[in-house]
Amino acid sequence: MTGEPTLESLRREIDAVDDAIDELIIRRTQLVEEVRVIKRGWPIKIQPSREAAMIRRLLERHRGPFPKRDLVAIWRQLIVATLSFEGPFAVAVLVTPGEQAYWDLARDHFGMFAPMHREATVADVLARVTAQDATVGVIPVPDAGAVQPWWQALADNRPGTPKVIARLPFVGPGNAWTAGSEALVVCPIPLVATGCDRSYVVAEAAQPIDGERLRDALTAARLELVMVTPWSRIEARGRYAALIEVEGFVALTDDARLAPFAAPTSDRPVVLTPIGGYALPLTAAELQSDARSAAGGTAAVDCGE
C-alpha cells in the first residue's frame, strides 16, 4: 500500500517537472530558431497580434489556482527573450521629470532584460523608432489637451512611419509607481486582426466637424465610434485634425470601409487615415483564476465583434 507523499518525494517530483519545463523551453527555442530562418528578410520581427492571440489562447485553457497574471508574465518573458536572438531589439520610452510610469509599463511588458532608452519627448521616441535605433516606442495615450498632438505624425504613409501596435498594461495594473497609468506602443509594422481589437484613425477636414455628424459618417461606414479628441489645427496644411478610436480592426491599407473617405467630398468632407490599433488588454474576468482541478479552462472572452 502506497503511503502518503513525503516532503522529499514531492520535492523530487517538482524537480522532475522543472526539468520537463526546461526541456520544453529548449524545444520551443529550437522552433523559434526555425521561425527566425523563415523571417530572415523581415526588418522587424515583433508580431504583437500573434502575441496577444497566443496569450488569450493559453488563458482559455489554463486551470487551477496558479495566477493568470503570473502566467502571462512568464510568457511575456519567453516572447521577449526569443525576440532578442531573432534580431536587434530595443525599446525607446518617454521618461520625464517625476514620471516613471511609462518606464515601468515598458519593463513589465518587454521584460527585465530588454535594452531600454530614456527619451525626453514623444518626438524623440518617434524619431528613434523611425530611424530604427529602437524597435518599439512607449508613449502616453492620446491627450485631448496636447498643444501638438503626437498622433498627427503617424498619419503619414511613408515607409518607416511608426504606427500604434499595442496598449499597456496588457495584463492589468501591476506595481507601477504611478497607479492607473496607460501607454501605447508604436512600431512601423502592420497588425492583423485578433478578434479583440480597437483601432485609431486620424480625421482631417477643412473645418472641425461636429460629433454627431462625424458619428453618423462612421456608422454609415460600419465603424463604431469609441472616442474622438477635440479638433486641432495643422498649421503646415491649414487644416484641422482629430484622433478617432473605433471598435474592431481597421487595416492600414485597403480597408474597404475607409475607401469613401480617401478624399473630401461635399457629402463626406473628412479624410480618414488609419494609424494602427491594439489588441484589447486582458479583462478582470479573463485574469480570474480558479481552483478547479478538472480538465478544461475558462470560457473565451466575448469581445463584442
Here the cell at position 138 is: 512607449
Q: For residues 197 and 167, is the Cβ–Cβ distance under 8 A? A: no
What pLDDT does 299 receive? 46
Does residue 28 form part of some domain?
Answer: no
More confident residue, 303 or 136: 136
Distance, CA of 13 to CA of 3 (rounded, Å): 16
Predicted local distance difference test score (pLDDT) of residue 175: 66
Say if 259 falls within a structural domain: yes
Q: Domain holding 145: CATH number?
A: 3.40.190.10
296 pLDDT above the threshold of 90: no
Q: Is the pLDDT at 293 greater than 60, yes or no? A: no
**Which of 194, 223, 241 corresponds to the end of one domain?**
194
Site of grid cell 484589447: 280
Q: Average the pLDDT over 236-252 and give the result.
A: 93
The domain boundary, picked from 158, 177, 194, lies at 194
How confident is residue 289, by pLDDT bands cut at 50, 70 and 90?
confident
Query: Are residues 203 and 188 part of one domain?
Result: no
So what's the pLDDT on residue 91? Answer: 98
Q: Answer yes or no: do 115 and 252 share one domain.
A: no
Note whether 203 and 255 are same-domain residues: yes
- The pLDDT score that the predictor gives to residue 302 is 59
- 288 inside domain: no
202/248 same-domain check: yes
Give the per-residue pLDDT at 42: 84
Predicted pLDDT of residue 225: 95
Considering the domain architecture, whether residues 188 and 207 belong to the same structural domain is answered as: no
> By percentage, how much of the chain surpasses pLDDT 90?
70
Residue 45: the pLDDT is: 86
The answer to whether residue 1 sits within a structural domain is no
pLDDT of residue 73 exceeding 90, the answer is yes
**Pair 92, 208 in one domain:** no
- The domain tally of the chain equals 2
Q: What is the pLDDT of residue 263?
A: 82
Q: What average pLDDT score do residues 235-262 get?
A: 92
For 105-162, write each residue's pLDDT tens digit: 999 999 999 999 999 999 999 999 999 999 999 999 987 666 678 999 999 989 999 9
Query: Are 189 and 206 contained in the same domain?
Result: no
Distance from C-alpha of 133 to C-alpha of 227, rounded to nearest angstrom = 32
**pLDDT digit string (tens) for 13-26?**
999 999 999 999 99
Mean pLDDT confidence for 271-299: 78
Is the pLDDT confidence value at 58 over 50? yes
Domain that holds residue 241: 197-279
Query: Which of 301 and 101 is assigned the larger pLDDT?
Result: 101
Judge whether residue 1 has pLDDT over 70.
Answer: no
Q: Are both 232 and 189 inside the same structural domain?
A: no
Q: Which residues does residue 200 pair with via DSSP β-bridges, in sequence order?
A: 245, 276
Indicate the pLDDT class of residue 286, thresholds 50, 70 and 90: very high
For residue 222, the domain's CATH number is: 3.30.70.330
Query: Is the predicted pLDDT of residue 300 greater than 70, yes or no?
Result: no
Q: Is there a single domain that holds both residue 93 and residue 51?
A: yes
Same domain, 233 and 133: no
Question: Is 138 a domain residue?
Answer: yes
Least confident of 60-69, 83-92, 171-180, 189-198: 171-180
Burial class (CB in 10 A: 0-12, 13-18, 19+), 137: buried
Whether residues 62 and 169 fall in one domain: yes
Q: What is the pLDDT of residue 198?
A: 98
Q: How many Cβ atoms from other residues are within 10 Å of residue 76's Cβ?
A: 18
pLDDT at 295: 44
Q: What are phi and psi of 242, to 5 degrees?
A: -140, 150
**Domain identity same for 254 and 126:** no
Asked whether residue 304 is assigned to any structural domain, the reply reads no
